[in-house]
Structure 1
């Protein structure tokens, strides 16, 4: 039986799980609601519930490791997580808790590897997606927040705490709006989905459906030629381009991959993003930087959690 990694993807609304093989294929997918407003034990119960479902299937015997991708911040050295969108988990010892639960499942003793959701997405896109074949990549998620991860010299680089590549909290407007992180003018407060919708509403845009004042509705308006909606995406694109160019200047990237719900706007985002990147990435060693849309979609978290775990444990055949 081909060896697999049991992958768990922890987000604010759902906890997903699957077995991932060496070709990036998912089997036995399952999910449970996060219940992020509940207590810490309730959220953990959803994680262990997903693992129990995976362990109950015939593929569990081939599992070599458990890879967990979590919304952050994370602290991989401590095995702890403090997801912004899960208030009950602050410095929560997730790896220890999962290891303790695994002791009661068949074939205990499997290692557990924690990865932030941004680095997990980067691992996935580098292994099976739009960054495949590139030595140096920034992979970004632009959605409710803006996150990312780095691949440097062909390997995932999560950094000592597991948060390297968190491009959403690069400040690109020194006099800009306050950011929940405590800084000001961060990429996230300019380019996230809520930021796009918030600015469009302030500028006079009104959604056709009053109950759907989100970035997706702004994108629809932009496709129809609404000037406020178009300007909102252009502004978000400039913020993203400034962050990408700054990162590329620091570490000499070959490619930047952009995914997430806001990237689903397609060329409404990517056209002004390419134009803005051409203006910001001007030094000779960053001019050739490629910009690509992500390929793996909602599977990226699971594929990336497995890929990051396999790479950390140096499993054979996972590259």
Structure 2
């Protein structure tokens, strides 16, 4: 069944919302990184191409993390060499350190992302750094990347809750985020890595930042709150939302983290709110259904299940 056959949602605006939202698609990187079985590079390339065909304009392609830590992404250089980039589509790559940046530059990447922590424990477990010393690792990456003309995004993980520390003080998240912006990141993605946030928390954190023009949100759906949290962020003026085709994803360093917000579920909600996004839902659903077949299990996305 297609979205058109099912009946598209009635368009009814709800409060003050952006007229248009950029969907930052993380399925090929964040979505696949936790898969135990290595997905062939040819399948990943087709996945990216299918998603680009659906109208997604930002596709986070891979990461130059060490293969020891994320074996699924060991083929990053091969994938980028085989990637047929489409006009008007951006293909950011996550880099963990200067060696990762070297590899990204060798591959001709023009947009990178770095991955910081809002908590002491996750910084130690994920980056082998303290909350404060992580910036010593990021500063040369950002400064070199900007000098080379690359755009740089900063991820901040554990913005709402940490499995070891519990609720995260908002002022701590803001301090980490502002250091990354001051360092030269053009955008900051606030991550609910273990999916514990609720809309009031989202509103409070965005209010603590004040200016949201450089902010994006990245929600996991562990407790079924990703869409409601996204709507809260949109009402606060956020215009970039991270999501993963088919709801794929997790975090290899946080076992309680389940899938990302499903792109199809996000698109259905945006359609109903009358917010532009540029994505053909039928094509994207077909893509996620195809990817689910490659992985050998059903898609977690409610919309994909409803339309297939």
Does TM, scored on the shorter chain, surpass 0.5?
A: no
Query: Which has the larger Rg?
Result: 1
TM-score category (smaller protein): 0.3 to 0.5
